[in-house]
Each structure stands twice: as structure tokens, then as C-alpha cells.
Amino acid sequence: MKKFGEKLRTLRKRRDLTLIELGQMLGVNHTYVSQLEQDRRTPNAAMILKIAALFDVTTDRLMKDELDLGE
């Protein structure tokens, strides 16, 4: 079971993106992305939707710890 932050880090690394690149794509600072990956911040609904769309995953897969990302 992976938490949101671990899933976000996995998705980012699969696309070979840096924190800075992902931050730019999401319109946020790279430190915010880092805090999300470390589960130190919780994204709001708009950010969850943006991340899900960017990585083409469902919001359920992102947010529910019991669901993995798949291949």
C-alpha cells in the first residue's frame, strides 16, 4: 500500500521528470511538489485533478492507499 506522495514520486520518475519540471507543468513551486511527495502537504481537489490528468490516472488510484498504480 502506497501513500499519495510515494505514488506521485513514482509517476514523476516514470516520466523522468525533475521536481522543477513537474512543478512547472503543474504551475507550482518545486518545493511544493517535494512536500507532496514527502506527504508533508495534502493537495487540494484542483491539484489532485491536475495531477491525475497529467499522468492519465484516476483520482481513486492516486488517493486511495489500497489501490496501486499498475504498470
Q: Please count the structural domains in the chain.
A: 1
Q: Is the pLDDT of residue 69 over 80?
A: yes
Phi then psi dihedrals of residue 36, to 5 deg? -65, -45
* Structural domain contains residue 70: no
* Structural domain contains residue 71: no
What is the length of the chain? Answer: 71
pLDDT average, residue stretch 39-52: 96
Where residue 44 sits, what CATH number does that domain have? 1.10.260.40
Domain membership of residue 59 as a residue range: 4-63
Q: Over the stretch 3-39, which tens digit does the pLDDT of each residue have? A: 999 999 999 999 999 999 999 999 999 999 999 999 9
Q: How many Å apart are CA 43 and CA 53, to the nearest integer?
A: 14
Cβ pair 2, 64 in contact under 8 A: no
* Structural domain contains residue 69: no
pLDDT at 68: 83
